[in-house]
């Protein structure tokens, strides 16, 4: 019996070999090119690299034609420039493109505020300036867009009440470096956002110091009961830059956040928070305001937005007017409070077929989570004696996870509330001045006049 001839890969036809190579990632494909002359030639097959260019760099046929080279050459070109970010680039680039496409349709003013990407040299210079390494996902995003010009509205969302307004700008890396923190309680923290009106910033921890985890994002919250002003609690907003940014973008482009007056409002809507009574539907969305909240003392500030809509198919005789509201509020420690009063935020809206009425209100709690439910009382316009209730669905208000510093000083027995520490201009004075380059994490001047009656 003749000995079986040893199978030699170089003798295989090209088609099955190319099919095998198509399952390899780009690193293994490069390794194969060193095996033999035949595999070296096949590993540069254009369709193989087209899929890698599409997967890793999101490149299209148009961009390949504009480059004038092969897909293999185009991949090498991008890899030389952005290779260190290959695990992040496609995800972040796609998020940026989705966000820009959305903004172009819904918030066109923001498009002009986006800055061109930073260079590797510029990012390296920033690292040298602050003496700290920037995470690669952050660097990758800033290679695509170097944040936003310092204008309003801010890319990272807005919020407004009758006497309070917040809009967070996504800081460019140069401005962020100017606000890099080395003070006790905030060491090695880089600001990601900034609001001109409140002084509020979200920060990213560049090193695991003072109870923070490396690269997590957070809102700092001074402990107002501690003697040491460096006792900083934190409301955590993300575990890393990639998660922080892409989660926000996903909420924007999927319509989770409403667009109001050409701005992104960070109200969160739970699909279960909708209830219909006869022809009237009530839905609720909520938002936590870190700039008006504190962990010590426990004071958690929420705003909620309610939409009341009468079906367009309702009969004209169904027209009605809201008379009063009733709330049942349950906190996470089991306490229950009932509140009722006339109208909603001083209004008595008339509902007719197809009519929509929206309003925002706010409330504060000493527990980090609670829920509200209740009803509105209406009367028919055609018969004021006909009074009925419209149910308000139960909606939960939950603050972000928060963490205390590793070492907490004992509370002062002669503590004076920092809410009252402001100068004659209404600007908060902390003894360190109000230098824009400092980008303090929270400006307590935002609290002046901002407290609203409970359960409006």
Q: What pLDDT, on the 0 to 100 scale, is given for residue 201?
A: 97
The verdict on residue 232 lying in a domain is yes
* Domain-ending residue, one of 251, 282, 306: 251
Contact between 42 and 18 under an 8 Å Cβ cutoff? The reply is: yes
Q: What pLDDT, on the 0 to 100 scale, is given for residue 441?
A: 31
97 and 227 co-located in one domain: yes
* Span 329-365, pLDDT tens digits: 999 988 999 999 999 999 999 999 999 999 999 999 9
The verdict on residue 377 lying in a domain is yes
* Domain-ending residue, one of 46, 66, 84: 84
Contact between 134 and 241 under an 8 Å Cβ cutoff? The reply is: no
Does 433 have pLDDT greater than 70?
A: no
pLDDT higher at 35 or 101: 101
- The residue range of the domain holding 323 is 267-402
Contact between 148 and 115 under an 8 Å Cβ cutoff? The reply is: yes
The CA-CA-CA angle for residues 49, 59, 103, to 5°, reads 160
* Span 275-296, pLDDT tens digits: 999 999 999 999 999 999 999 9
Q: What pLDDT, on the 0 to 100 scale, is given for residue 418?
A: 29
Does 438 have pLDDT greater than 50?
A: no
Q: What pLDDT, on the 0 to 100 scale, is given for residue 9?
A: 66
Contacts for 327 with CB less than 8 Å, ≥ 6 apart:
338, 339, 340, 372, 373, 374, 392, 455
CATH number at residue 385: 2.60.40.1470
* Span 10-68, pLDDT tens digits: 677 888 888 888 888 888 888 888 888 888 888 888 899 999 999 999 999 999 999 88
216 and 304 co-located in one domain: no
* Span 407-418, pLDDT tens digits: 654 444 433 332
Length of the chain: 456
272 and 337 co-located in one domain: yes
* Span 171-212, pLDDT tens digits: 999 999 999 999 999 999 999 999 999 999 999 999 998 989
The CA-CA-CA angle for residues 122, 179, 110, to 5°, reads 70
The verdict on residue 182 lying in a domain is yes
The verdict on residue 387 lying in a domain is yes
Contacts for 423 with CB less than 8 Å, ≥ 6 apart:
429
112 and 210 co-located in one domain: yes
Contact between 68 and 93 under an 8 Å Cβ cutoff? The reply is: no
Read off the pTM: 0.83
Name the least confident of 115-129, 151-165, 417-431. 417-431
Stretch (H or E) spanning 375: strand 369-380
The verdict on residue 289 lying in a domain is yes
The verdict on residue 11 lying in a domain is no
SS3 296: coil
- The number of folded domains in the chain is 3
State how far the Cα of 384 lies from the Cα of 198, in Å rounded to an integer.
Answer: 46
Beta strand 259-260 with 350-351 is unpaired
The verdict on residue 428 lying in a domain is no
240 and 321 co-located in one domain: no
Q: What pLDDT, on the 0 to 100 scale, is given for residue 445?
A: 30
289 and 356 co-located in one domain: yes
124 and 190 co-located in one domain: yes
Q: What pLDDT, on the 0 to 100 scale, is given for residue 431?
A: 33
Stretch (H or E) spanning 51: helix 46-57
209 and 111 co-located in one domain: yes
Beta strand 320-331 with 369-380 is antiparallel
State how far the Cα of 166 lies from the Cα of 160, in Å rounded to an integer.
Answer: 6
168 and 292 co-located in one domain: no
The verdict on residue 396 lying in a domain is yes
211 and 108 co-located in one domain: yes
Stretch (H or E) spanning 297: none
Q: How many helices (H) and strands (E) does the chain have?
A: 12, 22
181 and 330 co-located in one domain: no
* Residue among 216, 255, 179 nearest 436 (CA): 179
From residue 49, give the alpha-carbon distance in Å to each of 32, 74, 93, 341. 14, 9, 19, 67
* Residue among 301, 387, 314, 322 nearest 352 (CA): 314
Contact between 153 and 262 under an 8 Å Cβ cutoff? The reply is: yes
78 and 150 co-located in one domain: no
């Amino acid at each position: 019996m003749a000995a079986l001839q040893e199978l030699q890969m170089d003798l295989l036809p090209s088609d099955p070999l190319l099919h095998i190579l198509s399952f390899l990632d780009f690193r293994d494909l490069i390794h194969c090119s060193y095996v033999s002359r035949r595999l070296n030639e096949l590993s540069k097959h254009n369709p193989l690299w087209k899929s890698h260019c599409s997967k890793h760099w999101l490149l299209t046929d148009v961009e390949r034609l504009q480059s004038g080279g092969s897909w293999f050459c185009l991949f090498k070109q991008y890899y030389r420039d952005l290779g260190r970010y290959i695990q992040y680039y496609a995800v972040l680039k796609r998020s940026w493109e989705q966000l820009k496409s959305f903004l172009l349709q819904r918030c066109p003013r923001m498009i002009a505020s986006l800055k061109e990407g930073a260079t590797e040299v510029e990012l390296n210079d920033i690292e040298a300036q602050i003496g700290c390494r920037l995470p690669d996902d952050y660097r990758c995003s800033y290679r695509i867009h170097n944040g936003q010009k310092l204008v309003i509205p801010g890319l990272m969302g807005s919020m407004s009440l009758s006497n309070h307004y917040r809009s967070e700008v996504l800081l460019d890396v140069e401005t962020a470096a100017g606000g890099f923190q080395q003070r006790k309680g905030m060491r090695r923290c880089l600001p990601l956002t900034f609001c001109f009106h409140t002084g509020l910033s979200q920060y990213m921890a560049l090193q695991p110091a003072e109870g923070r985890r490396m690269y997590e994002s957070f809102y700092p919250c001074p402990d107002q009961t501690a003697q040491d002003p460096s006792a900083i609690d934190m409301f955590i907003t993300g575990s890393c830059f990639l998660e922080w940014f892409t989660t926000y973008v996903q909420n924007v482009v999927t319509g989770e956040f409403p667009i109001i007056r050409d701005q992104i409002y960070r109200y969160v809507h739970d699909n279960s928070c909708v209830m219909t009574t006869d022809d009237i539907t009530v839905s609720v969305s909520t938002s936590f305001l870190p700039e008006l909240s504190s962990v010590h003392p426990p004071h958690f500030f929420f705003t909620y937005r309610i939409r009341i809509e009468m079906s367009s198919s309702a009969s004209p005789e169904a027209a009605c007017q809201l008379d009063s509201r009733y709330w049942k509020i349950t906190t996470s420690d089991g306490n229950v409070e009932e509140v009722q009063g006339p109208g909603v935020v001083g209004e008595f809206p008339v509902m007719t077929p197809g009519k929509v009425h929206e309003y925002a209100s706010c409330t504060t709690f000493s527990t980090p989570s609670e829920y509200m439910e209740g009803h509105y009382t209406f009367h028919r316009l055609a018969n004021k004696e006909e009074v009925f209730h419209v149910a308000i669905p139960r909606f939960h208000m939950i603050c972000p996870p928060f963490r205390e510093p590793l070492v907490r000083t004992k509370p002062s027995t002669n503590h004076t509330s920092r809410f009252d520490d402001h100068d004659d201009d209404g600007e908060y004075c902390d003894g360190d001045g109000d230098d824009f380059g400092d980008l303090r994490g929270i400006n307590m001047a935002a609290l002046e006049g901002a407290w609203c009656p409970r359960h409006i």
